[in-house]
Amino acid sequence: MSKVTAKYQITIPVKVRKELGILPGTEVDIKKKGDNYVLVVDPIKTIKEKWRGKFKDKQTTMEYLDEIRGKVN
């Protein structure tokens, strides 16, 4: 079990850090799920995975952005 410091920081136990691949600099987020809070490792990766495959015509994200914004040379 972790303890909250005076600066409201917690230490993630070694076993958990190793399982989740958390290293210094790893981005994490805390999300509420029901009555609990969950640590989400690298939330940007999660967002990317959520949107991966949304472009059915094999268009890349950059091609899509160029299309809707107008290509800037």
Number of structural domains found in the chain = 1
In a domain, 8, yes or no: no
In a domain, 22, yes or no: no
**Could you read off the pLDDT of 30-60 as tens digits, one per residue?**
999 999 999 988 877 767 776 776 666 667 7
In a domain, 42, yes or no: yes
- The residue that leads in pLDDT, 56 or 64, is 64
What pLDDT is recorded for position 56?
A: 66
In a domain, 19, yes or no: no
In a domain, 6, yes or no: no
Whether the predicted pLDDT of 69 surpasses 90: no
pTM for the structure as a whole: 0.53
In a domain, 43, yes or no: yes
The alpha carbon of residue 71 and the mean position of all alpha carbons in its chain are separated, in whole angstroms, by 29
- The residue that leads in pLDDT, 46 or 61, is 61
In a domain, 13, yes or no: no
In a domain, 16, yes or no: no
Domain containing 38 equals 27-69
What pLDDT is recorded for position 2?
A: 87
